[in-house]
């Protein structure tokens, strides 16, 4: 009997990367499931359902989870439906339409930077009725990274300084903006802000960040699966 190679027992096979219409269908299915999962999360954090209903739902969710069979993505593996760096990230906790954690934020170019639009719900609550401060930081960190990429310098966060000027309301369309303010060698300096989409002149949160573009050897070590 021929022995089974050790690596076949520990290393999952490379994912088959869909293209064209197949990729579109896969992303649409992921986004649809993400939408329903976000609705479930919202209902879960709002409900005052009796314990017996919660226990019944727990069993049902466990049953559904068991149906998600097949190959599981390994740590640091880039999803087959993603474009990294600087492209679609289906499971990003900020912008990923397939993530049950994400708002998800929609990102587009905007003059000298990028702008994101999203609405945060009860699952993102800190003080009653308002967004958790960590969520504001996560939105800005994500968008400031997008601003680096849009400026042609993909980079990673080194420091992020937040200033919370006013509480950010839940269930209110938000406008998040970020742009590069300067560079120094491999350092990129970025500014960002959050405001209500209906009144962008009133700034709720601001941030200043320092990002660094890793040298090629470091980038390959950090992201060995990058095409």
DSSP string, 26-60: HHHHHHHHHHHHHHHHHHHHH----HHHHHHHHHH
Report the pLDDT value the prediction gives residue 222, as an integer from 0 to 100: 77
pLDDT digits (tens, 9 = 90+) for 76-98: 888 888 888 778 899 999 999 99
Q: Nearest Cα to 34, choosing from 114, 94, 85?
A: 94
Highest-confidence segment of 14-18, 120-124, 148-152:
120-124
The stretch 45-64 carries a mean pLDDT of 94
Bigger pLDDT: 13 vs 135:
135
Q: Which residues of 178-208 are buried (b: 16+ CB within 10 A; e: fewer)?
A: bbbeeeeeeebebbbbbbbeeeeeeebbbbb
Q: Nearest Cα to 177, choosing from 149, 146, 131?
A: 146
Q: Report pTM.
A: 0.86
What is the helix (H) or strand (E) element at residue 126, kind and residue range?
Answer: none
Q: What are 87's two structure tokens?
A: 């492209």
At residue 29 the predicted structure's pLDDT band, cuts being 50, 70 and 90, is very high
Q: Nearest Cα to 94, choosing from 151, 153, 28, 142?
A: 142
What is the helix (H) or strand (E) element at residue 112, kind and residue range?
Answer: none
Query: Mean pLDDT score of the chain, rounded to an integer?
Result: 90
pLDDT > 90? residue 6:
no
Report the pLDDT value the prediction gives residue 88, as an integer from 0 to 100: 86
pLDDT digits (tens, 9 = 90+) for 140-176: 999 999 999 999 988 999 999 999 999 999 999 999 9
Report the pLDDT value the prediction gives residue 7, as an integer from 0 to 100: 42
At residue 139 the predicted structure's pLDDT band, cuts being 50, 70 and 90, is very high
At residue 138 the predicted structure's pLDDT band, cuts being 50, 70 and 90, is very high
Report the pLDDT value the prediction gives residue 5, as an integer from 0 to 100: 45
Report the pLDDT value the prediction gives residue 158, as an integer from 0 to 100: 96
pLDDT > 60? residue 202:
yes
């Amino acid at each position: 009997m021929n022995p089974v190679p050790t690596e076949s027992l520990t290393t999952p096979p490379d994912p088959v990367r869909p293209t064209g219409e197949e990729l579109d269908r896969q992303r649409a299915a992921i986004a649809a499931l993400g939408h329903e999962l976000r609705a479930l999360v919202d209902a879960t954090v709002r409900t005052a359902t009796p314990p017996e209903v919660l226990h019944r739902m727990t069993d049902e969710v466990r049953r559904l989870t068991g149906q998600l069979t097949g190959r599981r993505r390994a740590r640091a593996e880039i999803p087959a439906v993603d474009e990294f760096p600087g492209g679609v990230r289906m499971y990003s906790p900020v912008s990923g339409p397939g993530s049950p954690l994400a708002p998800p934020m929609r990102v587009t170019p905007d003059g000298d930077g990028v702008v994101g639009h999203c609405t945060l719900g009860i699952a993102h609550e800190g003080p009653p009725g308002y967004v958790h401060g960590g969520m504001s930081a996560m939105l800005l960190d994500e968008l400031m990274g997008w601003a680096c990429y849009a400026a042609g310098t993909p980079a990673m966060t080194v420091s992020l300084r937040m200033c919370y000027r006013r509480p950010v309301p839940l269930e209110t369309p938000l406008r998040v903006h970020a742009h590069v303010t300067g560079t120094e060698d491999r350092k990129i300096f970025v500014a960002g802000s959050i405001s209500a989409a209906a009144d962008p002149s009133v700034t709720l949160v601001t941030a200043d960040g320092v990002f660094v573009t890793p040298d090629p050897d470091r980038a390959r070590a950090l992201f060995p699966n990058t095409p």
